[in-house]
Amino acid sequence: MKIFKFKLKIIHILFILFLSIYLITYLFNNPWIEIFELKTLDLRYRIRGEKKINSKVVIIAIDENSLINMSTQFNDEWPWNREHYARMIAKLFKLGIKTIGFDVSFTTPSESNIMSNGKSKDDVLLSAILRKYNKVVLGTYLTVKKQNFEEYNDKFKEELEKNRFYLKYSFKLKNPEYLPLFFPLTAYKIIPPIPEFSSLAPASTYEIGQLDPDGVARSLPLIFKENWAAEKGYSTGLFPHMDLILYAFYKDYDVNKFIFDPKNYSIEVNGETIKTDKNGFYLLNFYGKGSDIFDTISFYDLVYTNKYDNYDFKGKVAILGYSATAKGLYDLRITPFSNDEPGVYLHATAVQNLINKDKIQRINFFYSVIILFSLLFLSLLFSMFKKVSIKIFSFSIPTLYIFISYFLFKNNIWVDTFYPVVSTLIIPVVDTVQSVLKESKEKKKIKSFFFKYVPDFVAQKLLDQGKTELGGEKKEVVIIMSDIVGFTEKSEKLSPEEVVRFLNYYLSEMADIIRNKYYGTIDKFIGDLIMAIFGAPIEFGDEVDRAISCALDMRKKLKEINIKLKEMGFDFEVNAGIGMHYGEVIIGNIGADFRMDYTCIGDTVNTTSRIEHLTRDLNQWLIVTEEIVKRAKKFNFEYIGDFKVKGKKLPLKLYAIKEGDLNE
pTM across the whole model: 0.63
Q: What digits encode the pLDDT tens for the residues 580-599?
A: 999 999 887 777 766 667 78
pLDDT for position 435? 39
C-alpha span between 636 and 125 (Å, rounded): 57
With cut-offs at 50, 70 and 90, classify the pLDDT of residue 538.
Answer: confident
Q: What digits encode the pLDDT tens for the residues 601-614?
A: 888 899 998 898 89
C-alpha span between 653 and 639 (Å, rounded): 8
pLDDT for position 387? 59
Q: What digits encode the pLDDT tens for the residues 238-264?
A: 999 999 999 999 999 999 999 999 999
Output DSSP code: residue 51. -
The candidate with the shortest Cα–Cα distance to 211, out of 270, 281, 299, is 281
C-alpha span between 516 and 137 (Å, rounded): 47
- Tell me the pLDDT of the chain averaged across its residues: 87
Share of the chain above pLDDT 90, in %: 55
Q: What is the CA radius of gyration of the chain?
A: 33
Q: What digits encode the pLDDT tens for the residues 84-137?
A: 999 999 999 999 999 999 999 999 999 888 988 889 999 999 999 999 998 999
Output DSSP code: residue 651. P
Q: Which amino acid is at 370?
A: I
Do 226 and 190 touch, CB atoms closer than 8 A? yes
pLDDT for position 9? 62
Which range of 97-101, 394-398, 539-543 scores highest in mean pLDDT? It is 97-101
Average pLDDT over residues 226-242: 93
With cut-offs at 50, 70 and 90, classify the pLDDT of residue 664.
Answer: very low
C-alpha span between 204 and 255 (Å, rounded): 12
- Residue 33, SS3 per DSSP: helix
pLDDT for position 306? 94
With cut-offs at 50, 70 and 90, classify the pLDDT of residue 4.
Answer: very low
With cut-offs at 50, 70 and 90, classify the pLDDT of residue 457.
Answer: low
Q: Would you say residue 431 has pLDDT above 50?
A: no
pLDDT for position 7? 46
Reported residue count of the chain is: 664
Within 283-417, where are the H helices?
290-293, 299-304, 343-356, 365-383, 388-391, 396-410
With cut-offs at 50, 70 and 90, classify the pLDDT of residue 5.
Answer: very low
pLDDT for position 400? 92
What is 211-280 written as a DSSP string? PPTTS---EEESEEEEHHHHHHTSS-SEEE-HHHHHHHHHTT--TT--EEETTTTEEEETTEEEE--TTS
pLDDT for position 493? 84
Average pLDDT over residues 302-330: 90
Q: Would you say residue 382 has pLDDT above 80?
A: no
Q: Which amino acid is at 525?
A: F
C-beta atoms surrounding 596 within 10 Å: 19
pLDDT for position 144? 79
pLDDT for position 358? 93
Element (DSSP H or E) covering residue 475? strand 471-484
Q: What digits encode the pLDDT tens for the residues 337-354?
A: 999 999 999 999 999 999
